[in-house]
């Protein structure tokens, strides 16, 4: 093989070789040809030097200053949308028993989003709504899977001294806690009782899980399971989640139509 | 990482829910990293700060187009890269035409012409003031696209596909931009590097 050209060597040096330039022959050639090997090394040095360009560290006031300048430019968010809108249907269900919740969730999925208009403002609102639904839907899915795992965890047979490893659930609860608080506070602020309630019930459980050791005695696990079961928490989260996902799909369809 | 992403998504949802000030957390969390990118692209602090501000305002205005499953930091980074590109093109529009490299740029030494040098390996990379100035000059010789492609590929480690998507180029053109960037940098820096050993 003759010496590869510069482009081949540059791509080789950067690990960007395409199928055309990553032939075994090229690698083999670079392996045995001192000149090409030196060329590759020189290229790597050039890249290393060029990418080491020193960047001054902004002063400690940088973030605050940036926010003030940015904030001056921001319009207040459009008032066309509130959390109230998108949970209003389900609020009807908040008062009833679990069965009512399930039926309401089912029905809510069939509601057409809103009377359609051609206004682009409405289209934007629908897109925003869909993004919110996706975010909260994802959050509820994750919460649900933690609850499921805890509920289905098998206490080891044997004496009360046995422990169960819940490190996975503990770590994930910790990850979800911040988002849960934010969503709950927003729901409270905007008067969304259903969402606030469910997230509010979820929160102490997430706190407890996040702060628990990675191994707990089986007795503690059973206590957790009982708390989840007694409050019907898993079902509540599941209903809210499926409702949110169905509405999310309705929004997507509506968005595609307009 | 996951936790950071989760709370970014939650914060985005709050902003979309009508809480403008929730955007502040995102600004404070990401602006320093964006500054580094902008500085590497434009080469001076004042322009870099302005690029970051432009990028954040732009991000706020199109926040409803952010897919919540994507990584918010990456999304912002891409907006910032494009703001930097816009400004570079405005400042020196002639630089970004696809003009062929000048003759001296094209007179590439073949591998055989490259004498083995004793430049230090990357592990003991100490950049003298002189070489630092050389790097600046070399970076300024790149077109806006080449510079963006180089920074994304070799400083921030993005894949060719991600760069192509960000710069709105096809894969071939993206590779070419990275290639031309490295080629030009080599012309500028290699003599300095062997001299400064
Ligand atoms: Zn060779």
Judge whether residue B156 has pLDDT over 70.
yes
pLDDT value at residue B186? 93
Mark whether B12 and B87 lie in a shared domain.
yes
Specify if B38 maps to a domain.
yes
Mark whether B15 and B83 lie in a shared domain.
yes
Domain boundaries, chain A: 6-50, 91-257
Query: Any idea of the CA torsion for B165, B169, B171, B174, to the nearest 10 degrees?
Result: -100
Mark whether B52 and B137 lie in a shared domain.
no
Residues A233-242, buried b or exposed e (16+ Cβ, 10 A)?
Answer: bbbbbbbbbb
Lowest mean pLDDT segment, chosen from A22-26, A152-156, B54-58, B120-124: B120-124
Kindly report the CATH number assigned to the domain that includes residue B77. Answer: 1.10.1740.10
User: Is B27–A58 a contact, with Cβ atoms under 8 angstroms apart?
Assistant: no
Mark whether B61 and B19 lie in a shared domain.
yes
Mark whether B6 and B65 lie in a shared domain.
yes
Check: CB of residue B145 under 8 Å from CB of residue B85.
yes
pLDDT tens-place string over residues A82-129: 444 444 333 333 333 332 333 333 334 333 334 334 455 555 555 555
Mark whether B1 and B86 lie in a shared domain.
yes
Mark whether B59 and B124 lie in a shared domain.
no
Ligand 1 centre distance from Cα of residue A253 (Å): 58
User: Is A77–B160 a contact, with Cβ atoms under 8 angstroms apart?
Assistant: no
Closest-CA residue of A relative to B63 is: A128
Closest-CA residue of A relative to B52 is: A66
Helices marked H in chain A: 6-14, 24-32, 34-51, 62-73, 83-94, 98-108, 120-152, 167-189, 193-211, 218-230, 233-257
Total tally of structural domains belonging to chain B: 2
Specify if B79 maps to a domain.
yes
Check: CB of residue B40 under 8 Å from CB of residue A55.
yes
Q: Give percent of chain A above pLDDT 70.
A: 66
Check: CB of residue B38 under 8 Å from CB of residue B51.
yes
Alpha-carbon distance values, A72 to A39, B21, B24, B59, B111 (Å): 52, 12, 12, 15, 55
User: Is B119–A45 a contact, with Cβ atoms under 8 angstroms apart?
Assistant: yes
E strand or H helix that includes residue B120: none
Segment A176-192 shows an average pLDDT of: 76
**CB < 8 Å from B in window 77-96 of A:** 77, 79, 81-83
pLDDT value at residue A13? 84
Backbone angles phi, psi at B102, to 5 degrees: -65, 165
Find, among A212, A221, A213, the residue nearest to A162 by Cα: A221
Tell me the nearest-neighbour CA distance from A137 into chain B, angstroms.
11
**CB < 8 Å from A in window 4-63 of B:** 6-7, 9-20, 23-24, 27-28, 31-32, 35-36, 39-40, 45, 49, 52-53, 56-57, 60
Domain boundaries, position B141: 119-197
Specify if B1 maps to a domain.
yes
Segment A128-145 shows an average pLDDT of: 74
User: Is A58–B45 a contact, with Cβ atoms under 8 angstroms apart?
Assistant: yes
Residue with tokens 């849960």: A180
pLDDT value at residue B120? 43
Annotate A55-81 with three-state secondary structure. Answer: CCCCCCCHHHHHHHHHHHHCCCCCCCC
Asked if A141 has any chain B CB less than 8 Å from its own CB, the reply is no
Backbone angles phi, psi at A216, to 5 degrees: -120, 155
Judge whether residue B124 has pLDDT over 60.
no
Tell me the nearest-neighbour CA distance from A156 into chain B, angstroms.
31
Q: Give percent of chain B above pLDDT 90.
A: 54
Ligand 1 centre distance from Cα of residue A9 (Å): 10
Task: Give the one of B111, B122, B153 whose C-beta lies nearest to A36's C-beta.
Answer: B111
User: Is A10–B179 a contact, with Cβ atoms under 8 angstroms apart?
Assistant: yes
In angstroms, how far apart are the furthest CA atoms of chain A? 80
Specify if B81 maps to a domain.
yes
Specify if B144 maps to a domain.
yes
pTM: 0.56
Check: CB of residue A209 under 8 Å from CB of residue A151.
no
The complex scores an ipTM of 0.80
Domain boundary among B92, B108, B139: B92
Closest-CA residue of A relative to B19 is: A77
């Amino acid at each position: 093989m003759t010496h590869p050209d510069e482009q081949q060597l540059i791509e080789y040096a950067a690990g960007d070789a395409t199928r055309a330039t990553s032939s075994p022959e090229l690698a083999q050639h670079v392996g045995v040809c001192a000149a090409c090997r030196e060329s590759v090394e020189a290229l790597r040095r050039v890249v290393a030097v060029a990418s080491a360009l020193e960047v001054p560290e902004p002063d400690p006031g940088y973030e605050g200053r940036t926010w003030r300048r940015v904030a001056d430019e921001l319009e207040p968010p459009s008032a066309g949308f509130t959390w109230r809108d998108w949970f209003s249907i389900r609020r009807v269900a908040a008062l009833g028993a679990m069965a009512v919740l399930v039926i309401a969730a089912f029905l809510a999925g069939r509601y057409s989003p809103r009377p359609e208009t051609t206004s682009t403002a409405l289209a934007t609102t629908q897109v925003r709504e869909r993004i919110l639904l996706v975010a909260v839907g994802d959050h509820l899915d994750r919460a649900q899977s933690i609850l499921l795992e805890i509920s289905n965890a098998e206490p080891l047979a044997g004496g009360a001294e046995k422990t169960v490893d819940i490190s996975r659930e503990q770590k994930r609860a910790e990850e979800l806690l911040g988002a849960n608080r934010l969503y709950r506070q927003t729901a409270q602020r905007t008067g969304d009782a259903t969402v606030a309630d469910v997230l509010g019930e979820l929160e102490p459980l997430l706190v407890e899980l996040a702060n628990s050791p990675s191994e707990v005695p089986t007795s503690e696990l059973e206590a957790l399971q009982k708390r989840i079961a007694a409050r019907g928490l898993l079902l509540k989260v599941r209903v809210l989640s499926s409702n949110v996902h169905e509405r999310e799909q309705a929004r997507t369809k509506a968005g595609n139509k307009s | 990482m996951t936790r950071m992403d989760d709370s970014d998504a939650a914060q985005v949802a709050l902003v979309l829910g009508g809480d403008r000030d929730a955007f502040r957390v995102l600004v404070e969390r990401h602006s320093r990293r964006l500054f580094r990118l902008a500085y590497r692209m434009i080469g001076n602090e004042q322009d870099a700060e302005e690029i970051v501000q432009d990028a954040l305002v732009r991000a706020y205005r199109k926040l409803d187009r952010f897919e919540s499953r994507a990584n918010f930091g990456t999304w912002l980074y891409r907006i910032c890269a494009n703001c930097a590109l816009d400004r570079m093109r405005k400042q020196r529009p002639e630089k970004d035409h696809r003009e062929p490299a000048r003759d001296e740029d094209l007179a590439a030494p073949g591998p055989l012409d490259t004498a083995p040098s004793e430049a230090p390996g990357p592990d003991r990379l100490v950049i003298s003031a002189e070489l630092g100035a050389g790097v600046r000059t070399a970076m300024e010789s790149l077109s806006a696209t080449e510079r963006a492609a180089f920074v994304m590929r070799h400083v921030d480690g993005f894949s060719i596909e991600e760069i192509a998507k960000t710069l709105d180029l096809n894969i071939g053109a993206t590779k070419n931009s990275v290639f031309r960037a490295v080629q030009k940098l080599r012309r500028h820096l290699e003599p300095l590097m062997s001299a400064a050993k």
